[in-house]
Amino acid sequence: MPLVEVTYAPTVPEPQLRELGSVLPHLVSLAVECPEEPYDGDLQPGDVEIRFRPLGPLDRSGLTVVIEVRSKWSASREADRQERVDALHADIGAATGITDFGVYLSLPTAAWSQGD
């Protein structure tokens, strides 16, 4: 279950943020798919959590959008993490038209529990 945080500059139009929020669950799921957590294309509540946060007055960023993806570590994800994040970056750009953005993929050792 990936956690995604999107930090954005005030210059990013809301329709573009809405489009980003619409495509991220699928694109992130494809990017972190692995044998331990296969992606069947049928996202359920809690499968991908996305939080949007505007840059604050004290934040410093050279990009208009930074997307941080955190997903549990697995050997298969670790082996090709750079290829995964590069593909995710390309897919996000193609789907949204955003050009000045970065994607950070973190694979910590973690656990997740969710009630029914």
Find the domain containing 11 and state its range. Answer: 3-106
**Residue pLDDT, tens place only, 1-21:** 799 999 999 999 999 999 999
Distance CA 64, CA 41 (A): 29
The CATH code of the domain that includes 83 is 3.30.429.10
113 within domain boundaries = no
Q: Which pTM does this prediction carry?
A: 0.91
Q: What is the pLDDT of residue 116?
A: 65
Average pLDDT over residues 81-107: 96
115 within domain boundaries = no
Q: What is the 3-state secondary structure (H, E, C) of 64-83?
A: CEEEEEECCCCHHHHHCHHH
Q: What is the pLDDT of residue 46?
A: 83
